[in-house]
């Protein structure tokens, strides 16, 4: 977790300039790490993930090369429906409006026109909302819900699946550790926020008329020691990807964890009104696919299919002959198994050819319900693409749910598990946060500093396997749109076999170990998704089909 340790160290690095404001270093803080050379801090182009490794020097997916060399004089043969199971999608964003699915069998009249139990599901469905229009925003973590059941003397523990009921002491210990960790990081983020508050006035005055960015601070020639140290600290943080906006997001995120995620008494489920966890109760929710904060889902949807109709604009959307089906099932906290199961079934029933799932958690008490939904989608030929997770962990040893491995044996055929790579090159090819696993992770895709749509009509870079998964989903939709005779299994094969393989390249293992391993040891393919190569292989495979 990049905030731990670095925050306090940055505070120490700031002691000299802070003295001017009468501050002192935190007692017992570790010494400051050496500051990177300012020239070493660099930023990738906004479209780096679409570039070609050989021609452009970035480990992108070669999409722009494919557009220019393979698709310039061709038209897609069909429109592909991609379901985005997430926290919501901004249906008003100019680059997404024309890409959204519209239910031809429904009109917004308060009636269930098509008789499927979902009233006014014009753009999709919201499984974490109530029929009165209210929505779940924050929710607890699954660990918290399990621990709450462990301590419930009114029958709650008896309702737990036996596999978790017998693990209550272990779960309670893990809960205390996680909650303490979140409280500690929140305190550290508050410290670094205080440091940033101190240095920003100096930097703002010094870079006028520019705004304070990594580039403008790099160009700055300090006129005194205070400004020199302010610049030093800002660039030190920027080298780790920590900016004022990142700090604000981290502060908000960890505060949410403490207030909601690890709060044993918090329960927003009555908003939905479905008697959770009764998995037989279905047809709940409402048609509000945006929800209170559709930031994450809007970013994911943009990666898959945001419009690229302005020649001067930075291209984003990978597949252009696509429709996005928004299914809201992921709160700020852990998603619930029942919601994910019905989200997958809904997407499959609406005709989705691809389902993107940029979410995950460490516990799945009702995995059997999710497995049944995955089997259902698998049987209908839906390609499911899932983010491997952001713990920097070996997914072969610690699963992230949902997973393609069924409780009763077997594995989903049409499933791709995706890890994240960075633009930073050298041994930093794999994103430091990405989960990995020779058996659990199928392929890697760009996931660090990915530029895409955000609510309100804007754009932003975000990082995570949550961004890498829609890159693969977008490539899948692109291939399907030009080669409709290929099945989901065919497209999975195309994506995995056409990956840019570099099994012997030495890279830093994600996480805190610091050791260097072969890239080929971190996934089944030892490769990065490549749209250009995928289209070439799809052409060959399609030609061999009747």
Q: pLDDT, tens digit, for every residue of 485-502?
A: 999 999 999 999 999 999
**Final residue of a structural domain among 199, 227, 258:** 258
Residue 480 lies in a domain: yes
Confidence of residue 45 (pLDDT cuts 50, 70, 90): very high
Cα 42 from Cα 337, distance rounded (Å): 41
Tokens of 284: 């709940």
Residue 40 lies in a domain: no
Cα 60 from Cα 66, distance rounded (Å): 12
Check whether 2 has a pLDDT greater than 50.
Answer: no
Co-location of 479 and 450 in the same domain: yes
Per-chain mean pLDDT for the chain: 90
Co-location of 292 and 206 in the same domain: no
Co-location of 217 and 186 in the same domain: yes
The pLDDT of residue 155 is 64
Question: Read out DSSP for 440-503?
Answer: T--EEEE-SSEEEEETTTEEEEE-SHHHHHHHHHHHHHHHHHH-TTS-HHHHHHHHHHTSEE-T
Co-location of 227 and 357 in the same domain: no
Co-location of 204 and 349 in the same domain: no
Residue 263 lies in a domain: no
Residue 328 lies in a domain: yes
**Phi/psi of residue 135, each to 5°?**
-130, 150
| Average pLDDT of the segment spanning 159-187 | 93
What percentage of the chain exceeds 90 in pLDDT? 80
Q: Which residue, among 350, 423, 355, 352, has the nearest Cα to 386 in the 3D structure?
A: 355
**Final residue of a structural domain among 224, 258, 292:** 258
**Phi/psi of residue 357, each to 5°?**
-130, 90
Cα 469 from Cα 85, distance rounded (Å): 12
The pLDDT of residue 34 is 29
Largest Cα span, the chain: 78
Residue 403 lies in a domain: yes
Residue 270 lies in a domain: no
**Final residue of a structural domain among 258, 291, 309:** 258
Co-location of 189 and 295 in the same domain: no
Cα 279 from Cα 256, distance rounded (Å): 27
Confidence of residue 246 (pLDDT cuts 50, 70, 90): confident
The distance from CA 48 to its chain's CA centroid, rounded to whole angstroms, is 18
The pLDDT of residue 97 is 96
The structure's pTM equals 0.90
The enclosing domain of 352 has a CATH number of: 3.40.50.200
Co-location of 401 and 301 in the same domain: yes
Dihedral angle, C-alpha 190, 196, 201, 202, nearest 10 °: 150
Residue 161 lies in a domain: no
Check whether 101 has a pLDDT greater than 80.
Answer: yes
Co-location of 338 and 462 in the same domain: yes
Strand order in the sheet with 415-421: 124-126, 322-328, 80-86, 354-357, 383-387, 415-421, 443-446, 527-528, 500-501
Q: Is 400 helix (H, G, I), strand (E, B) or coil?
A: coil
Radius of gyration of the chain (CA): 24
Number of domains the chain contains: 2
Cα 354 from Cα 497, distance rounded (Å): 19
| 35-39, 45-49, 165-169, 508-512: the lowest-pLDDT one | 35-39
Co-location of 172 and 83 in the same domain: no
Co-location of 189 and 290 in the same domain: no
Check whether 483 has a pLDDT greater than 80.
Answer: yes
Q: b vs e for 434-467, b when ≥16 Cβ sit within 10 Å of the residue's Cβ?
A: bbbbeebbbbbbbbbbbbbbbbeeebebbbbbbb
The whole domain housing 494 covers 51-137+276-543
Confidence of residue 245 (pLDDT cuts 50, 70, 90): confident
| Average pLDDT of the segment spanning 170-193 | 96
Co-location of 253 and 320 in the same domain: no
Residue 350 lies in a domain: yes
Co-location of 430 and 517 in the same domain: yes
What percentage of the chain exceeds 70 in pLDDT? 91
Q: Which residues pair with 295 in a beta bridge?
A: none
């Amino acid at each position: 977790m990049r905030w731990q340790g670095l925050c306090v160290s940055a505070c120490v690095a700031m002691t000299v300039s802070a003295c001017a404001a009468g501050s002192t270093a935190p007692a017992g803080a570790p010494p400051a790490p050496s500051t990177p050379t300012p020239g070493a801090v660099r930023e990738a182009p906004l479209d780096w993930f679409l570039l070609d490794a050989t021609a452009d020097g970035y480990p992108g997916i070669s999409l722009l090369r494919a557009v220019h060399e393979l698709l310039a004089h061709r038209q897609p043969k069909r429109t592909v429906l991609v379901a985005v199971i997430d926290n919501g999608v901004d249906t008003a964003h100019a680059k997404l409006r024309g890409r959204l699915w519209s239910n031809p069998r429904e009109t917004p009249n308060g009636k269930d026109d098509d008789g499927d139990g979902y009233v006014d599901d014009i753009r999709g469905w919201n499984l974490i909302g109530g029929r009165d229009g209210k929505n779940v925003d924050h929710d607890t973590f699954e660990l918290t819900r399990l621990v709450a059941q462990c301590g419930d003397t009114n029958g709650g523990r008896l309702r737990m699946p036996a596999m978790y009921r017998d693990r209550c002491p272990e779960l309670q210990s893990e809960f205390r550790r996680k909650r303490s960790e979140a409280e500690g990081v929140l305190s550290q983020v508050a410290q670094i926020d205080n440091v940033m508050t101190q240095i920003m006035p100096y930097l703002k005055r010094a870079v006028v008329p520019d705004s304070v960015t990594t580039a403008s601070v790099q160009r700055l020639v300090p006129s005194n020691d205070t400004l020199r140290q302010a610049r030093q600290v800002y660039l030190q943080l920027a080298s780790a990807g920590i900016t004022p906006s990142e700090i604000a997001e981290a502060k908000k995120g960890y505060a949410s964890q403490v207030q909601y995620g690890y709060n044993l008494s918090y329960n927003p489920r009555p908003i939905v009104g479905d008697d959770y966890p009764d998995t037989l109760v279905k047809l709940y929710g409402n048609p509000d696919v945006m929800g209170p904060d559709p930031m994450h889902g809007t970013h994911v949807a943009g990666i898959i299919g945001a419009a690229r109709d302005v020649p001067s604009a930075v291209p984003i959307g990978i597949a252009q002959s696509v429709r996005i089906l928004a299914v809201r099932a992921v709160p700020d906290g852990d998603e619930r198994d029942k919601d994910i199961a019905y989200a997958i079934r809904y997407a499959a029933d609406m005709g989705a050819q691809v389902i993107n799932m940029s979410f995950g958690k460490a516990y799945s008490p009702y995995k059997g319900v999710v497995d049944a939904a995955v089997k259902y989608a698998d049987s209908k030929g839906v390609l499911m693409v899932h983010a491997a997770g952001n713990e920097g962990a070996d997914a072969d040893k610690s699963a992230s749910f949902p997973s393609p491995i069924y409780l009763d044996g077997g594995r989903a055929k049409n499933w791709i598990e995706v890890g994240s790579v960075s633009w930073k090159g050298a041994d930093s090819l794999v994103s430091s946060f990405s989960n990995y696993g020779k058996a659990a992770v199928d392929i890697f895709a760009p996931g660090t500093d990915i530029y895409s749509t955000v609510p309100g009509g804007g754009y932003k870079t975000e990082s995570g396997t949550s961004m890498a998964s829609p890159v693969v989903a977008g490539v899948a939709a692109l291939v399907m749109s030009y080669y409709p005779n290929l099945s989901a299994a065919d497209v999975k094969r195309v994506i995995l076999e056409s990956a840019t393989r570099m099994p012997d390249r030495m890279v830093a293992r994600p996480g805190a170990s610091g050791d260097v391993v072969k890239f080929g040891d971190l996934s089944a393919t030892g490769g990065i998704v490549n749209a250009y190569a995928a289209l070439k292989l799809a052409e060959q495979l399609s030609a061999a089909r009747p």
